[in-house]
C-alpha cells in the first residue's frame, strides 16, 4: 500500500533529477551538424521516463519516450516543449527540448488529514490538505537558504514578501465564512535557491536537491488536485512594484484583455485561458466569468479591493501586468483537466502590514468561497 509520498516518489524524483542532469548533454567540438540535441527530461509526480534509443541523439533524428508511472500513479500527458498524450511518444529531435511527463495520483489522497502539515525533504516544502475544491499554492514566499543548494545565478531571485503568511491566513479565514478549508501548498526555499514557478531546468538550476524540492512542491499540488473533481487552483504571489490593484492572471495578455466582451466570447481566447474548462462547461459567457460581477475580480471588487480584470477594471491599461506563470499553465485547465487556474499577484499594501493583511485575507477567503460555490 502506498504510504504518503515519501519512500518511492522521493527516490524516483531524485533518480529523475540525476537523469535530468545527465541529460544536459555536453557538446563536444565539431560542426553545428554534429552538435547533439539537448533534451531535458523531467517528471511531475512519481514516475520515470525511458528513452529509446538511449544516449544523445542529433537534431532531426527520432526519439521515443516512454512514461512509466510509479505504483499508485498514472501517466496523464506530456508538457514542456511537447503537448501530447500518446505514450510511448515518438518525435523528431530539435536543438533543445524540455520534455515533462505529468503523472497523477490514482487514489483520492485519503491518507492526508485535512489541516495537518505534511513536509517534503528537510521541510523545504509543505502541504496542508484541505477538503474543499480549492487548492492554493505559494511558490515565492520562502525564507530558507540552505548551504547545500547553490544560489541561482540566472532568472528572478526576489522573494514575494508575506505571501506564506497571507496564504495561511486565507486558509484559516475560509472556515469562518464557509465550511471546510482549502488545500495549501508552500515552498519554504528562498527564490535564490529555487523558483517553484518555473520549468524545472530554470527553477532548480541543475541542482538535485533543488530539483527534488521542485518535484515535491509540484507533487503536493497534484495530490491536492486529485482530491478535487472540479474546482479552482490559485497560485498566490506578491507584486514587487507598488501597484494599485490586485492582478489576476488567466494566461491572457494585457492586449487580450483589451478585447471587447463580444470578442472574448467568441471562444478562442477562452480556449487559451487557464479557466478553459469552466468556460466550456458553463453557459455563462466567458467575459462574465473573467470580469463580470461573479468573476474573482468582481467578487474582490464588491468587498472593497480593486482588481484587474473586474467590472471596474476590464484590462490593466499601461501598468506591468502578470498574466500567469508556469504553475498556472501546468495546473490550470488550458491544457486539459477539470481544475481551473488563476494567478493572483497581491499588492504590497495588503501583505506587509499585519492588520491590512488580515482584512484582505478575510476578503479573499470570502471571494474564493463564493467563486467556488457559484461555479463548481
Residues 16-55 that bind Zn ion (CB under 5 A): none
- Residue 212 contacts residue 203 (beta carbons within 8 Å): no
Question: Closest distance between Zn ion and the C-beta of residue 126, in Å?
Answer: 17
Closer residue to Zn ion (CB): 48 or 138: 138
Question: Closest distance between Zn ion and the C-beta of residue 227, in Å?
Answer: 25
Cα–Cα dist 197/253, whole Å = 18
Closer residue to Zn ion (CB): 110 or 154: 154
Q: Supply the DSSP symbol for 121.
A: G
* Chain centroid offset of residue 285 CA: 26
Cα–Cα dist 344/238, whole Å = 8
Cα–Cα dist 8/337, whole Å = 26
Sign of CA dihedral 277, 282, 287, 292: negative
Segment near Zn ion (CB under 5 A); pick from 157-165, 200-208, 271-279, 311-319: 157-165
Q: Are strands 73-80 and 96-105 parallel, antiparallel or unpaired?
A: antiparallel
List the beta bridge partners of residue 344: 236, 248
Q: Residue 259: which residues within 8 A CB-CB, separation 6 or more?
A: 269
Question: Closest distance between Zn ion and the C-beta of residue 364, in Å?
Answer: 16
Question: Closest distance between Zn ion and the C-beta of residue 197, in Å?
Answer: 6
Does the footprint of Zn ion cover residue 198 (CB under 5 A)?
no
**Closest by Cα among 128, 129, 137, 144 to 237:** 137
Does the footprint of Zn ion cover residue 140 (CB under 5 A)?
yes
> 133-166 in b/e burial notation, b at 16+ Cβ within 10 A?
bbbbbbbbbbebeeeebeebeeeeeebbebbbbb
Does the footprint of Zn ion cover residue 323 (CB under 5 A)?
no
Closer residue to Zn ion (CB): 163 or 171: 163
**Closest by Cα among 283, 280, 316 to 297:** 316
Closer residue to Zn ion (CB): 199 or 265: 199
Alpha helices, DSSP H, located in the chain: 6-23, 163-177, 200-204, 208-226, 254-257, 261-264, 268-271, 276-281, 286-291, 296-302, 326-331, 354-375
Closer residue to Zn ion (CB): 141 or 314: 141
Question: Closest distance between Zn ion and the C-beta of residue 191, in Å?
Answer: 8
Does the footprint of Zn ion cover residue 190 (CB under 5 A)?
no
Does the footprint of Zn ion cover residue 160 (CB under 5 A)?
yes
Sign of CA dihedral 119, 10, 218, 206: positive
282: three-class secondary structure by DSSP: coil
55: three-class secondary structure by DSSP: coil
Q: Supply the DSSP symbol for 283.
A: S
Question: Closest distance between Zn ion and the C-beta of residue 141, in Å?
Answer: 8
Question: Closest distance between Zn ion and the C-beta of residue 155, in Å?
Answer: 12
Question: Closest distance between Zn ion and the C-beta of residue 322, in Å?
Answer: 8
Residues 57-116 that bind Zn ion (CB under 5 A): none
Closer residue to Zn ion (CB): 137 or 227: 137
Residues 232-261 that bind Zn ion (CB under 5 A): 237
Cα–Cα dist 137/126, whole Å = 10
Segment near Zn ion (CB under 5 A); pick from 113-121, 139-147, 272-280, 308-316: 139-147
Site string for Zn ion, 257-296 (x = CB under 5 A): ----------------------------------------
Question: Closest distance between Zn ion and the C-beta of residue 140, in Å?
Answer: 4
Closer residue to Zn ion (CB): 99 or 163: 163
With contacts defined by CB under 5 A, how many residues of the chain interact with Zn ion?
A: 3
Closer residue to Zn ion (CB): 158 or 266: 158
Closer residue to Zn ion (CB): 137 or 273: 137
Segment near Zn ion (CB under 5 A); pick from 135-143, 144-152, 251-259, 328-336: 135-143
Chain residues binding Zn ion by CB under 5 A are: 140, 160, 237
Amino acid at each position: 500500500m502506498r504510504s504518503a509520498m515519501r519512500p518511492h516518489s522521493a527516490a524516483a524524483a531524485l533518480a529523475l533529477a540525476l537523469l535530468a542532469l545527465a541529460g544536459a548533454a555536453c557538446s563536444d567540438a565539431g560542426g553545428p551538424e554534429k552538435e547533439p540535441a539537448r533534451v531535458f527530461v523531467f517528471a511531475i509526480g512519481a514516475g520515470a521516463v525511458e528513452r529509446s534509443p538511449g544516449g544523445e541523439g542529433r537534431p532531426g533524428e527520432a526519439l521515443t519516450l516512454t512514461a512509466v508511472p510509479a505504483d499508485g500513479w498514472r501517466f496523464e500527458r506530456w508538457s514542456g516543449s511537447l503537448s501530447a498524450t500518446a505514450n510511448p511518444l515518438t518525435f523528431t529531435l530539435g536543438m533543445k527540448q524540455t520534455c515533462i511527463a505529468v503523472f497523477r495520483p490514482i487514489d483520492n489522497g485519503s491518507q492526508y488529514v485535512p489541516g495537518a502539515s505534511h513536509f517534503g525533504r528537510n521541510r523545504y516544502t509543505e502541504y496542508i490538505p484541505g477538503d474543499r475544491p480549492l487548492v492554493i499554492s505559494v511558490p515565492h514566499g520562502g525564507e530558507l537558504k540552505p548551504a547545500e543548494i547553490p544560489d541561482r545565478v540566472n532568472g528572478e531571485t526576489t522573494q514575494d514578501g508575506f505571501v506564506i503568511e497571507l496564504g495561511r491566513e486565507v486558509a484559516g479565514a475560509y472556515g469562518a465564512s464557509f465550511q471546510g478549508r482549502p488545500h495549501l501548498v508552500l515552498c519554504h526555499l528562498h527564490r535564490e535557491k529555487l523558483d517553484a514557478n518555473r520549468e524545472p531546468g530554470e527553477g532548480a538550476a541543475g541542482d538535485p536537491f533543488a530539483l527534488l524540492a521542485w518535484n515535491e512542491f509540484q507533487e503536493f499540488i497534484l495530490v491536492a488536485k486529485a482530491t478535487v473533481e472540479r474546482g479552482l487552483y490559485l497560485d498566490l504571489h506578491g507584486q514587487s512594484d507598488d501597484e494599485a490593484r490586485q492582478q489576476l492572471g488567466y494566461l491572457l495578455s494585457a492586449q487580450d484583455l483589451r478585447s471587447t466582451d463580444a470578442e472574448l466570447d467568441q471562444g478562442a481566447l477562452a480556449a487559451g485561458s487557464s479557466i478553459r474548462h469552466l468556460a466550456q462547461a458553463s453557459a455563462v459567457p466567458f467575459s462574465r466569468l473573467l470580469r463580470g460581477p461573479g468573476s474573482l475580480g468582481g467578487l474582490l471588487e464588491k468587498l472593497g479591493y480593486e482588481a484587474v480584470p473586474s467590472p471596474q477594471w476590464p484590462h490593466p491599461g499601461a501598468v506591468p501586468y502578470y498574466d500567469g506563470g508556469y504553475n498556472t499553465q501546468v495546473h490550470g485547465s488550458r491544457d486539459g483537466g477539470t481544475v481551473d487556474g488563476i494567478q493572483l499577484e497581491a499588492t504590497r499594501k495588503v501583505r506587509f502590514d499585519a492588520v491590512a493583511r488580515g482584512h484582505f485575507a478575510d476578503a479573499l477567503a470570502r471571494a474564493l468561497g463564493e467563486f467556488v460555490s457559484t461555479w463548481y
